[in-house]
Each structure stands twice: as structure tokens, then as C-alpha cells.
Structure 1
Amino acid sequence: MLTVAVLISGTGSNMRALLEAAADPGFPARVVAVGADREADGFAHAEDFGIPTFLVPYGQFPSREAWGEELARQLDVWNPDLVVLSGLMRLLPPALVDARAPHIINTHPAYLPEFPGAHGVRDALVAGVSQTGASVIVVDDGVDSGPILAQERVPVLPSDDEHTLHERIKPVERRLLIDVVRRIATGDIDLAAVAAPQTT
């Protein structure tokens, strides 16, 4: 059984979808803890499912590195097989990424490598593209630059604003995330192989 810790910053809607999937006895992964970098509304979802939570407030640390050290200690308590970033609005420090790589994944509301960063939905609208998408990636030291595990296109409608487009991307993100976690748990995705440097 794959054990999973989820890190959030906000409402945790993607996380709730994963919790609902993992509540099925037939699902091959279990969420063992939910952490956040601030007081997050998503903790309520964890409580609904009886999942322990932990808080590592970013503003209480003198540096990103110091915050990452405490976050690493909290994760070590649960020692999950996989860490899922689900709306965590912080870049993890390289030391934490290196310690757990390649077993950290993230969802992103764009068809990477298109529109990386914190404003992927807005950037797609500004660019005037006819389609964007959703991606699930392995986290590396860059900004949404890790190996892609799954992605799917989502059309941009003429009437879309940032809210409506994001609301149509979210269900795709959730479905991709649940499928990727399932495939990691069953061995259909080998993270070590996916993240291995490519040789020619």
C-alpha cells in the first residue's frame, strides 16, 4: 500500500478528490497526513476523513531553507512513500527536493511546458491560445520543469475568464492526479525510471 502525504496552501479541492478516491478499499494508496504552509481551509477536508494534519507556517522562519528543514522533519514523522503538492504555493527548497526526489509530484493547471509558474491559467488567457490543459509532474529544483507524468488538453472558450477556465481545468487535474497516484502505487509508473537522466 502506497502511503501519501499531501501539502496544501488553500482550499485543497484536488486533495479532497484524492481523499475520496483513497477511501475506496480497492484504491492502492492511503493518505497518511496533510500539511500546509499556512492556516488552510483544506484542513477541514482532512478532518472529514480523519487524516492527521500539520502546520509549518512559512512566515515564522527566517528563510525558505529553514522552513524546508522543519517541513522535512514533519514529513519524516510520517515517512510517506509519496509527497503530493496540491495547491502548495511555495517552491520547496532544493535540499528537501533532493532528499525525497523523485517521490514528490505536483499538479499544474496548464499543458506543460506551456505556462509554468503561479499564474498558468491567467497566462494562457493573456496569450490568447485556443487550448491549455492540466499536467501532473515530478517535482525538481525548477519551476514546473520536472518530468511529465500525465497531461491532458482543455479548450479555452471565447467567453472564458480566469475563474471559469480554472474551474474547467480542476476536474481534469483531479482525474489525472488520482490516476497517477494509482499507477505509482501499482508500479505502472516507476518514478525512478521517469526521473532518471536521459542518456544518448
Structure 2
Amino acid sequence: MTEQHVQKSIVVLVSGNGSNLQAIIDEIAEKRINAKIVAVIANQETAYGLTRAENAGIPAIYIDHKNFASREEYDKQLADSIDEFNPNLIVLAGFMRILTPAFVERYQGRMLNIHPSLLPKYKGLHTHQRAIDANDKEHGASVHFVTPELDGGPVVLQSKVPVFEQQDVQELAQRVQQQERQMYPLVIKWFCEDRLKMINNRAVLDNQILADEGYAIE
């Protein structure tokens, strides 16, 4: 018999289209992840991720950052909204805001992000163009735990794609996003099965400390 785990609850934060959110919704629906998304919260009213949530019967919440005088005030409201759902895991799925240290520390060890680069390369924005400009031979995405350092938390998993000559940035972004939609649900599955933890600022999977670049599939 396989070991049974208590179903985990997840809050997902989005700012835009929510393609990674959809991948997670689909994997849960297929019972490949033992979890329930209890809320989707967006800082943009037009975020299509809110529509995806509504279509899946998930509470969809919009908190406009323009209504707050500071990042700290916004993040306090965001945290209060999250805490109403008492989630086991917070998933950042294209949430385009830099979170305050106080917010991050509140959820340390139970907040994941996906970043479109092979961290520690290309933290921040415009990662695909930066990879092309640097004539990199490979590019990709990283799933990592969130820490106060921007895109600096311990990496759990990376996926690589080749960068071709005369590479078009949109086409490269599309190929990276295809990888993201496979790898993010996998990492969330590990967390929900109690296989993945953050201990002493390192990612630990099945009681093994992962390398700086995360779990190696090869």
C-alpha cells in the first residue's frame, strides 16, 4: 500500500495569464497532486488567472496594490487574505511583485516560485532576452523556495532548453513555459507528499540536501 498523506491546501498568487496555475489545476483534477487550491489572489484586475480560478470553482480574489500607500501595507493585506484560508503552501505563479522581507519570513519554507532562468543566472526581469544577448547555449526555468533575496532562495528543480542561433525571444519564452508547466506541478506534488522541505536555507528532497542547481533528473 502507498503511504497516504493528508490533503494539502494551496493559495496561488498570480498577476497575469496563469498558465502555470492552469497546469496545477489540471494535475489536481487528474488526482496526480493530493491538494486543493483554496484561493487564487491577483494584484491585477485583468489577470486571466482569476478567470481560470472562477472556471474551476476556486475563490478568486483581487487586491489592488494601487490602493495601498506602501509595499508593507499591501503585503499585510495580502497576508491577512492568505491567512483566512490557512494554506499549507503558497505558490507564486507569475506574481509580478517584489515581496517584503516580513511577508516572505511569515511563510518561509512553504512558499514556492518559478523563475524563467537557470538560477542564479538572470534574476529579475527580461530573462529570455538576456540569455539571447549573452549568446548562451542553454536557458530554462527554476523552481525555488522563496527567501527575502529576490529569486535567491534554494533551487528545487531546473529544466533546460537549448538556445538556437538567431533565436526569437517569443519562441524561446514559449519553449521555457512548456517546461514550466511540467516541472512546477511536479515540485508541488513533492511538497504535498511531505517529500520536499526547506531546512537551514537548503532544499531537501527525500531527506537528501539538493545541490545548488536542485534535483538532477539525468
Same fold (TM over 0.5): yes
Question: Matches of 1:155 and 1:173 in 2, distance apart?
Answer: 15
Identity %: 35
Structure 1 partner of 2:71: 64
Could you tell me how far apart the structure 2 residues matched to 1:23 and 1:86 are? 18
- Paired residue secondary structure (1:78): coil
> Of the candidates 19, 23, 28, which is equivalent to residue 25 of structure 2?
19
C-alpha distance in 2, partners of 1:98/1:193? 13
Amino acid at match of 2:43: D
Match of 1:177 in 2: 184
Deviations along 1:55-75, whole A, 9 cap, x unmatched? 111111100010000000100
Q: Deviation of residue 27 (structure 1)?
A: 2.3
For structure 1, the 5+ residue unaligned runs are none
Shift of 1:111: 0.6
TM-score normalised to the size of structure 2? 0.86
**TM-score (ref. length: structure 1):** 0.94
| 2:65 alignment partner AA | Y
Alignment-mate amino acid for residue 29 of structure 2: A
Who is 1:189 aligned against? 196
1:158 is aligned to 2:152: no
DSSP-derived class of the 1:21 partner: helix
Distance 1:86 1:153 in 2: 19
Question: What SS does the corresponding residue of 2:13 show, helix, strand or coil?
Answer: strand
Question: 93, 100, 122: which is aligned to 1:115?
Answer: 122
Q: Which residue of 1 aligns with 2:174?
A: 167
Query: Structure 2 regions of 5+ residues with no counterpart?
Result: 1-6, 204-208, 210-218
Work out the CA distance in 2 between the residues paired with 1:191 and 1:28.
Answer: 20
8 Å Cα contact 1:89/1:118 also seen in 2: no
